[in-house]
Structure 1
Amino acid sequence: MGNKSTDPLLLGQRVVAILETGQRDATYKLATLMALIEHCIENLPEQATDTLRVPIPELAHRVLAIYWRQVRPFEGHELAQRRTGRKARIIDATKELRDAARTGDTALSLEVAMMRTPKAYQQAIDKIVIALAKQPLPRLQKLPGSATSDPFLYDDSFLGENVSRRTLRQHGDAIVLNPGVAHGLARLAGLLRPTLEIMWVEDVRQMNKFLDAEVPDVAGHLFGRERTALTVVRDPFKEAFGPHCFYCGTHLPADNPIDHVLPWSLVGIDGLANLVLACARCNGDKRHALPSVDIVNRVLTRDREALEEIAADLQWPTQHERVTAAARGIYRGQPEGVPTWAGYKQTERLDISFPPWWIMTGYSPR
């Protein structure tokens, strides 16, 4: 299948082997890899064999966003995400920002917290950057018991417990993914992300003894599958776009579902630009399927002014640019001809021989 560095299957096997070998002391490696995959999707290089520079502060933001909801109490308990007796630097930085933004246990978005307390947000990012550079980034490529790492993802020789801010600056505050890694991780996202979530839930259950088999959906708490929070967008969407299913146009009842157009199982984007009103029939049929290019075109060309007004009223980000970047990365990383969901009981083979505006090279909508 060609050079091993650009073989997505081999890359995925090596990633999973690193994660499955030995006991994980924390969920930080899983979070770092999940953040790396998201970054690759949204910043996919033009060529499959290209390298990709990943700023560690951007990675830190994605890791912070993952833990943002997770640090809230679950069933009255605070979930441990490290083995006892170890420092929880990333978790602590996340909690400190929530305290500074006075979020309490609410579902207030990270974006709103950033606007409320920009200084506290930057302090949290600085702490997480150092935490990533000291532990998960150098350990992500190291088999337990091995004295050295196997840098198949990126050069980590400058990282480790003794890393300084000066050293990070000398390396541009970034890691550089090896040739082919960004495309490989983006293409494997649909397989790797669910695998990481399963591992994460298993680790959290082991680290929190009260989470026995009778405890309800901890995965929902960790990864946002408790979708009740999305219901607040239902009425504003109906007022702005009409009480109709985005996919089939049928008139909607009062309690219709809210759907993620780019599936939550692939990219966890809750921004308004990725949400639509759906009927129960379409929502159930689509599930985690990749939507057709035409559906993505329609969602990205909705009235942005209306979305921004809803965002201001609800204090809920639109994330239009992020959804656009994610869509571009997802579809450019797919092989031609894969089936996509085109409506209830309908599929279309992917064809981007005449790419829409959001796939076009170098185009960034404003």
Structure 2
Amino acid sequence: MDSLFLERMLLLLNQGNFTTTYKYALLLALIDVNIEGAGQGGPVTSVTTRQLAERVIVLYWPHTRPYARRRARLRRVASASGRALTPALTLRRAGQGQRLSEAGWALLQSSTVRDKKRRQAEIVTLIAKTRAALHKRDASADRRPHLAQRADPRRYERLVRDVEWVLAEKPIPRLQIIGSSHDPFLYRLDWTIEQSKGRLIEPGLPKLTEGALRAGTLSNTLQLMPGVHERLVSLAAVLRPLIHRHWSDMVARLNSLPERRLEEFLFGASRESLAPVREPLWRLQGGRCFYCGGRVSLAQAEVDHVLPWSRFAEDGLENLVVADASCNSHKSDLLPGREAILPWLSRPAAALAAIAEATGWPLARDRVRSTCAVVYRQLSPGVPVWRGGGVVGRLTEDEQRGVLGALGAKGGGA
């Protein structure tokens, strides 16, 4: 583990100068893009602002839903804290107010004050407006980004471009500023912005403009510093929950809410959101728990992430199985051993593709498998893995080679 790199990351998280939650989304997006790239071959040396925008949209999408369904519930929380909560983002279209739901509140993700009013983070507002417009046309189209993209490609493309510009203008050039110092230990840019009036962050570089970025006369590429790709991939399982906690803490402070319940809302995998694939997977598995093979009723079946959601945030269909409550609880956030990995990799590809087509759920077969290969290649023999039931064992070198061989990957050991 690179202690200097980790120390700089901790310093960035604790002392970076930000008034929104953008830095957390940007860091998670960088991790995700690097993990995905690692499974496609050689090391990632650069990422684009568009790649980051697409991933940031996925991260913020569930945050635009109402935090509570009843005003009274939040009023009690607000009353206890002595502070008022901001009501749900009201979207104006043709003079009519549109809420994202019949009752609820949007969580502030910015400390910016304008005209004596607290302002929502711009990216959250952009996504909320897109979701509201899609929901008006089709109640199911706004549930997930891939459904929105399929329902209205042109509107979704505008959203990506708008989010890309916000990232380029705000968090990307500012992320590596600690105090008044600029420490580019993650990436370098071919352009800069003003840190303060008349003072550029990196003198000598051209100043960013929206027109130049959109026209391509300024590069949209972030050049990763040497070793950053390897460190982000190897430290992902440590950094992700840490970033989640910092993000949740900031939103909790902005909205006067309890941190633990808020973190589950922001980053927990909602069983309701996985409902469309639960029955098809249950039928594919013959009404049995994927892990233990025991019978489980549809009502009791739970959708589980083979690669734990809390560590890898991957809900492509390839990463989902149906399990009973006991196995799901025992496995929790543990990585599975070969007892589960090898049968998982042997599932019928055509049947999964048919489910993906029928439900509109992304299959993500290549991405999930490449992520799995990256994960198991980085593991050190001896790390805990789940064996089934309440049994936790240790990863062996032979087991690691077997898993990587089944994935068509090479190498092993951290």
Q: TM-score range with shorter-chain normalisation? A: 0.7 to 0.9
CA distance in 1 between counterparts of 2:302 and 2:156 reads 33
Q: Percent identity, aligned pairs only? A: 33
Distance 1:108 1:174, change over 3 A: same
Distance 1:238 1:111, change over 3 A: same
The amino acid across from 1:35 in the alignment is: A
- Tell me which stretches of 4 or more aligned residues in structure 1 moved more than 4 Å: 45-48, 103-107
- Relative to the length of structure 1, the TM-score reads 0.86
1:202 aligns with 2:202: no
- Relative to the length of structure 2, the TM-score reads 0.77
The amino acid across from 2:266 in the alignment is: L
CA distance in 1 between counterparts of 2:192 and 2:312 reads 28
CA distance in 2 between counterparts of 1:324 and 1:183 reads 18
CA distance in 2 between counterparts of 1:138 and 1:343 reads 46
- 1:58 is matched with which residue? 51
Contact 2:131 2:142 in 1 (8 A): no
How far residue 179 of structure 1 moved from its aligned partner, in angstroms, is: 1.7
Matches within 5 A, 1:298-337: 298-337=343-382
> Which region of structure 1 is more displaced relative to structure 2, 313-322 or 345-354?
345-354
How far residue 37 of structure 1 moved from its aligned partner, in angstroms, is: 0.9
CA distance in 1 between counterparts of 2:322 and 2:315 reads 13
Unpaired runs of 5+ residues, structure 1, are: 1-6, 362-366
Distance 1:136 1:294, change over 3 A: farther
1:79 aligns with 2:125: no
- 2:155 is matched with which residue? 120
Contact 1:82 1:88 in 2 (8 A): yes
Deviations 1:72-91 (A, max 9, x none): 11111111111133573312
3-state SS of paired residue (1:120): helix
CA distance in 2 between counterparts of 1:206 and 1:181 reads 31
1:191 aligns with 2:219: no
1:97 aligns with 2:130: yes
> Which region of structure 1 is more displaced relative to structure 2, 81-90 or 285-294?
81-90
Matches within 5 A, 1:1-366: 8-21=2-15, 24-44=18-38, 50=43, 52-75=45-68, 76-85=104-113, 88-102=121-135, 108-144=143-179, 146=180, 148-156=181-189, 158-160=191-193, 162-164=207-209, 165-166=211-212, 169-170=216-217, 172-209=219-256, 211=257, 213=258, 217-253=261-297, 254-293=299-338, 295-344=340-389, 345-351=391-397, 352-353=400-401, 355-360=404-409
- 1:3 is matched with which residue? none
Structure 1 or 2, whichever has the larger Rg, is 2
The amino acid across from 1:143 in the alignment is: I
Higher strand share: 2
How far residue 244 of structure 1 moved from its aligned partner, in angstroms, is: 1.3
Contact 2:176 2:183 in 1 (8 A): yes
> Which region of structure 1 is more displaced relative to structure 2, 26-35 or 267-276?
267-276
CA distance in 1 between counterparts of 2:373 and 2:29 reads 17
How far residue 29 of structure 1 moved from its aligned partner, in angstroms, is: 0.2
Deviations 1:298-329 (A, max 9, x none): 32331222223222333322222221222122
How far residue 286 of structure 1 moved from its aligned partner, in angstroms, is: 1.1
How far residue 25 of structure 1 moved from its aligned partner, in angstroms, is: 0.7
3-state SS of paired residue (2:38): coil
> Which region of structure 1 is more displaced relative to structure 2, 94-103 or 39-48?
39-48
* Higher relative contact order, structure no. (Cα contacts within 8 Å, ≥ 6 residues apart): 1
How far residue 124 of structure 1 moved from its aligned partner, in angstroms, is: 1.0
CA distance in 2 between counterparts of 1:314 and 1:135 reads 37
Unpaired runs of 5+ residues, structure 2, are: 69-103, 114-118, 195-206
The amino acid across from 2:122 in the alignment is: R
How far residue 186 of structure 1 moved from its aligned partner, in angstroms, is: 1.3
